[in-house]
Structure formats: structure tokens, C-alpha cells
Amino acid sequence: MKKKYTTSCAASVGLLLVSTPAFAQDLNLPTRSTLLPTKNTRELNLSGSYVFNDDNPYALSGTYGLFTSPKLELGVTGAVSGARHSKTSTSVGAFADYYLRGNESVDSSRALLPYVGVFAGYSHRDASDASLGAQVGAKYFVNPNVALTGELQYRSTRHGSGITQFLLGISTFFH
């Protein structure tokens, strides 16, 4: 199980890196001032977490979002999580993330972009149930089209206990 998870994560990260547009032939190479997403930028993210202990959960999630403004991103997300000795759970839903950006002339040159957000959707383990959640995280841009991500999530359902997890991932951005 660990080997399959590690192999699938490595392959997914490689695909995301290869799929980013190349700037080598563009004479106007992006500068730090064009680093952060603007209105109508789209994001594709793949994240995962795994604690190397048989009793702790693993998770793999994917998101697709659209920046409706430089400070607001709306999107859809899906996740699979579980543990070696428990049932696998899945979730699907929508999210809204608000980015903590200051004055654009100062903030656009920073590679770190923190955010807070909310989630609403459905989760399934033994039965389907409405799910609500919140997240806080940050994106660190390594270039204008790729960012490393870290996110702390809390998800709860009506009939179950809430779960908290920390996800690490990679995002690619395009227009």
C-alpha cells in the first residue's frame, strides 16, 4: 500500500511539472511582479498526506479552482482517505478560498500566498452524509505556473466525528 501510494504521488507530481507551459521561447519572461494569480487564472492541485503509522490515515485529494478576483478562488474538490485497518472514505464538494493579500504593489513580489477557506459537500464512508469544513493554508510559488502547497483541513459530517489533516501538494496555474 505504501509503495503504490508513493508511486502514484510521484507520477502525479511529475505530470503536473511536465504539463506547465514553457517560458523558454517567450522573450518577455515573467518577473516576480507577475508571479501571483490574477482574475480568471485557473488552478489544478494534487495533494496528499500520509503518516507512516498503521493507525493513521492517508489522503489524496485533487482540486480545480478559478480565481474570480486576485483575492477569491472558487472551485471543486474530491478526496479519498482512509487507514490500513479501516474503511476508505471519499468526499466531493465545492470550496471558496480567500487569499490574504495586502497592497498589490508590495504583495505581488512575494512568493508566499496564504489563505483561509470553507468547504461544503458530501462524504461517504458507511453512508453518504453532508459535510462541512474549513481550511487554512499557503501556496509558495516556485515560478509563475507552479506552487508548492500546504493546507490544514477540518471536515465534519452530521453523523460522524470531524477529521483534521495536513496536506502537502503541488499546483499548476493557467489562463
**What integer pLDDT is reported at residue 7 of this predicted model?**
47
**What integer pLDDT is reported at residue 63 of this predicted model?**
97
**What integer pLDDT is reported at residue 78 of this predicted model?**
95
**What integer pLDDT is reported at residue 133 of this predicted model?**
93
Q: Give the up-direction half-sphere exposure of residue 54: CA atoms within 13 A in the CB hemisphere.
A: 1
Neighbours of 72 (CB within 10 A): 16
∠ CA 150-154-155, rounded to 5°: 125
**What integer pLDDT is reported at residue 109 of this predicted model?**
63
Identify the CA nearest to 95 among candidates 18, 43, 145, 30.
43
Block mean pLDDT (10 aa), the chain, length 175: 49 46 40 69 93 65 95 95 77 95 59 95 81 95 93 83 86 94
Annotated domain spans of the chain: 2-17+37-174
Indicate the CATH number for domain 2-17+37-174: 2.40.160.20
**What integer pLDDT is reported at residue 60 of this predicted model?**
92
Identify the CA nearest to 97 among candidates 80, 77, 75.
75
pTM of the predicted protein model: 0.76
**What integer pLDDT is reported at residue 91 of this predicted model?**
87
**What integer pLDDT is reported at residue 31 of this predicted model?**
47
Neighbours of 86 (CB within 10 A): 11
